[in-house]
Copies of this chain bind each other. A is one copy, B any other.
């Protein structure tokens, strides 16, 4: 089994805000991230699939196909968007790095599995060079 990873990037706005709280509570918990005008990041994704190497092609999956899946399912929806205001899964869920990792997994798991040759193994999301979250699915090991 081989782990094969492709990076992709998108630029988006977000803010951290819990509508059940007062502005003071949001400011106390989320600090500058609670600014309702939003702020943004260049996000980097690392999408990892796992499978056997096809003896004829030498591929686990065709990386051009994987790039297209990531583009269609994630980048075209997230890039140059305000995550809270324009992406459905963040209408009622705060777009933290952790939640973005889960959301990207949920968008990619079915199309990767459907293709038949590999399984989605890991989604890593960098919010900055210094912060990243990783999700391996409900049945993934924690490490």
Contact = CB atoms under 8 A, between A and B. Distances in A.
Interface of A: 1-9, 11-14, 16, 18, 20, 29-33, 35, 37-42, 50, 53, 56-60, 62-64, 79-82, 85-86, 93-99, 101-102, 121-122, 128-136, 140-143
A133 B4 contact: yes
A143 B3 contact: yes
Nearest to A97: B4
Given A4-B134, A136-B143, 17 more contacts: A3-B135, A3-B143, A4-B132, A9-B128, A12-B39, A16-B57, A31-B64, A32-B80, A37-B81, A37-B85, A38-B82, A39-B80, A40-B40, A42-B42, A50-B143, A58-B98, A60-B98
A142 B3 contact: yes
